[in-house]
Chains A and B, each alone.
Chain A
Amino acid sequence: MGKDECKTMLDALNKVTACYRHLVIALGSTSDSQNLREELKKTRNKAQELAVANRTKLTALLKDKNISKDDRAEYERLWVLFTSSVELLEVDMKRSLEIGQDFPLKVPTRHLIQTGMTGSTTTVAARAMSVQNMKYEADANIDTVDLKELETEIAQVDQMMEEMEMKVQVAPWAVEAKQEAGAELKSTVSVGNSSVGVISICEEEPKETVEGETGLMKVFAGIIFTGVLLIAGILGYLVVNL
């Protein structure tokens, strides 16, 4: 079913976003290294793939007009989750660009901040990529090359977000979250049906529905009118016959 697929994909995106953030936090510190840069790149690419896949899926679902109100509300909630994920990802990407530029790896006098972290981030990256072991096959100057790629990728993500905002108009503030405060303490994620959303997808659709509705209402009003006339006639008749 579309909803479950969406949810799993969103979960995956969420996981990758969290791992990416974790990796970016390690940038510039003593646990920084070539490997970290490569991990960042790989995680980033994976995140972008997932984002694009999610987006196409969700936009297709939201554009569908034949879904029930509950379904629509649910998709809107998922949409809000998706946009928050992508926003977080974008911010992290921008920050990694900045920090990466400040802390190049191949300079002779490199001073990485000694933060106390000495372990590697391989396991985190492996978790992000859903692999058992990470393979590192990048070049030596990955840090500088990667930064250029990173810039283009940031521009791409920006563009994607703008498109998303334009095409799908979901009011994020109108979505009610299903988790109440303190829900993270519970181990399972409960998925109920309690959110409300406001939607207006494209310009063409609302017009027809409104027109159809007024036509119906006119007929309805005409029926009321004839009914009242009938009652008036009957009353008159009764008065006469009394």
Chain B
Amino acid sequence: MERMIISMQDPDMGIKLRNQRLLITVIPHAMTGLDIVEWLIKKCSISDEEALHVGQLFVKYGYIYPLKEPRNLILKADDSSYRFQTPYYWMSTRWPASELDYAIYLAKKNIRKQGELIEYEKECYNALHKRINHTWDFVVMQAREQLRASKQRRKGDRIVLECQEQAYWLVNRPPVSPEHYKLTTLTKNTINSYHNHFYVKYCEQYQPHDPIMQGCLPSNPWITDDIMFWNMNSETVALPTKLRVERWSFSFMELLNDQMGRKEFLTYLEKEFSAENLCFWQACEDVRHGETAKIPEKVDEVYKQFLAPGASRWVNIDSKTMEKTLEGLKRPHRFVLDDAQMHIYFLMKKDSYPRYLKSELYKNLLARAIVPQETKKSVFPFMRRQRHSSPSPALATQTAEDDGKAKYSNSNSGTASRILDSSVHISLYVEIQLIMHFKDTLYDVAIMLYEIRYITNFQLFNECVFFSVLSVTCLFHTLVLSLMYLFDIKFFLPAINVLLSQFIDIY
């Protein structure tokens, strides 16, 4: 293409060029469309149509640009004028039109037109401003400098420069018509929003059923050690929970996956005299997921019960699927009943399932379904947890020590010492109870803090956490000790022993 353009420039054999006359300036090197077409016909000995087509290509790819209607990139074989594009602006894969250049061009145009850009140019401008924001200063600076540089040329050249650049960008960033633009954005948006919509709907539907998001009623067994939640949702419970029943209405698969749902659906189908469908489906599932050795006999059973003509529970399958299945039955394998199963599945899904959801049976069940009560939460958060921690070895040694002490004091002193011993015993008992109680708390706190420590990797946080845990435990122990002091009991030492053991135990 480029060689042809160059050959067009030949002063003898090239295209005849005229002058373009604007108001006062005269710009040379303009040619008419007709000239181009004629030259092409002469040079390449091609037909009129072909020449026109080739000329169109020149204009489309920016080697020639029209002067009168710059936005209309077509070649008209009449006296509308065209001009050649400078080599810098020729189409090249090595130098694709970059965003930065386009931004500079738009900025220049903005300055020249004092902010009066065309609609799509304005949009492009704003989009570019967002995208290459970090070089926007450069864009502005370059735009200004380039304009100042072009002011150094004479007027004719300046006009040509502007036309050239405009033509280049019209080829490389074709203006999208507003309807088309809206349409493309609309279709893109609808496709995205369709997927988004689907996800949003799914999330909205399943959110009340999510134990993490919504919480578990009556209570999360992992937290409260209370297995009522599992008991209430088991397969053999008399009355299901409301959430469970609602879930059956989300999709047919949900209903079938729940054993209780399946049973309820079966009762409904029995009323409708189409229970064989569900039984057939269940039998097919059994074949699919069962033992390989038993497949032939299972398939045989299914055939005898459901598919044979005149069978006791004959299912209504269309003839084509029936033929295919019967053919396959000669060589039974795991998936031989798949087509029939699919057919019956869709039959149930489209027909029986919606009717079931609207039926009295379902509605009654929904009304009767229970909403379990949430177990009462106490105010202090840690009190709720009834941790059944194993008895601490310190306690065992302590009781041993107490016994030892009691024996010792008994053997040595009289009643006074006995009273003292008993008070020691009581105080120690009280202290130990307090510690055991708070030990759970401290344990929880320590675990929480350690978890946080492992999740975050902050050096500083590690140190702080460590020290704060230490200080918290110290605080508690100090409090307890001071309480003991309050009760005016002087036998600290064994208490301190116990305390230290607890301390070590926690860590």
Seen from chain A, the residues whose Cβ lies within 8 Å of a Cβ on chain B are: 11, 14-15, 17-19, 21-22, 24-31, 77, 80-81, 84-85, 88, 91, 95, 98-99, 102-103, 111-119, 121, 123-124, 126-128, 172-185, 189, 214, 217-218, 220-222, 224-225, 228-229, 231-233, 235-237, 239-240
Contacts of A91 in B (CB 8 A): 95
Look across to chain A and name the residue whose beta carbon is closest to the beta carbon of B113.
A185
Instruction: Determine whether the beta carbon of B463 is less than 8 Å from that of A218.
Output: yes
Contacts of A26 in B (CB 8 A): 86
Contact of B87 among A15, A29, A177 (CB under 8 A): A29
Interface residues of B in 364-421 (CB under 8 A from A): none
Look across to chain B and name the residue whose beta carbon is closest to the beta carbon of A127.
B152
Look across to chain B and name the residue whose beta carbon is closest to the beta carbon of A98.
B94
Report if A221-B137 is in contact (Cβ < 8 Å); known contacts: A124-B152, A235-B479, A236-B478: no
**Measured CA separation A19–B142 after assembly (Å):** 10
* B287 part of interface (Cβ distance < 8 Å): no
Contact of A25 among B86, B460, B478, B485 (CB under 8 A): B86
* B91 part of interface (Cβ distance < 8 Å): no
Interface residues of B in 448-487 (CB under 8 A from A): 459-460, 463-464, 467-468, 470-472, 474-475, 478-479, 481-483, 485-486
Seen from chain B, the residues whose Cβ lies within 8 Å of a Cβ on chain A are: 5-7, 9-10, 14, 17, 20, 27-30, 83-89, 94-95, 100, 107, 110-111, 114-115, 125-126, 129, 133-138, 140-146, 148-150, 152-154, 156-157, 160-161, 164, 459-460, 463-464, 467-468, 470-472, 474-475, 478-479, 481-483, 485-486
Q: In whole Å, how far is A174's beta carbon from the nearest beta carbon of chain B? A: 7
Q: In whole Å, how far is B207's beta carbon from the nearest beta carbon of chain A? A: 37
Contact of B134 among A25, A27, A80, A222 (CB under 8 A): A80
Q: Which 10 A-B pairs have the closest CB atoms?
A: A18-B145, A228-B471, A177-B136, A28-B87, A123-B152, A236-B482, A225-B467, A114-B29, A111-B9, A221-B463
Contact of A115 among B125, B141, B143, B164 (CB under 8 A): B164
Contacts of B161 in A (CB 8 A): 25, 117
**Measured CA separation A185–B108 after assembly (Å):** 9
Q: In whole Å, how far is B143's beta carbon from the nearest beta carbon of chain A? A: 5
Look across to chain B and name the residue whose beta carbon is closest to the beta carbon of A31.
B157
Instruction: Determine whether the beta carbon of B467 is less than 8 Å from that of A222.
Output: yes
**Measured CA separation A129–B202 after assembly (Å):** 67
Instruction: Determine whether the beta carbon of B142 is less than 8 Å from that of A14.
Output: yes
Report if A172-B86 is in contact (Cβ < 8 Å); known contacts: A119-B157, A218-B463: no
Look across to chain A and name the residue whose beta carbon is closest to the beta carbon of B115.
A185
Report if A81-B141 is in contact (Cβ < 8 Å); known contacts: A115-B85, A116-B30, A119-B154: yes
Q: In whole Å, how far is A239's beta carbon from the nearest beta carbon of chain B? A: 5
Contacts of A185 in B (CB 8 A): 110-111, 114-115
Instruction: Determine whether the beta carbon of A113 is less than 8 Å from that of B84.
Output: yes
**Measured CA separation A99–B464 after assembly (Å):** 67
A29, A88, A117, A184: residue with the most chain B Cβ atoms closer than 10 Å: A184
Report if A19-B149 is in contact (Cβ < 8 Å); known contacts: A14-B142, A88-B142, A182-B110: yes
Mind listing 6 A-B residue pairs with CB under 8 Å? A31-B157, A175-B134, A179-B137, A222-B467, A235-B478, A236-B481
A29, A181, A183, A189: residue with the most chain B Cβ atoms closer than 10 Å: A181
Instruction: Determine whether the beta carbon of B7 is less than 8 Å from that of A181.
Output: no
Contacts of B142 in A (CB 8 A): 14, 17-18, 88
Instruction: Determine whether the beta carbon of B107 is less than 8 Å from that of A84.
Output: no
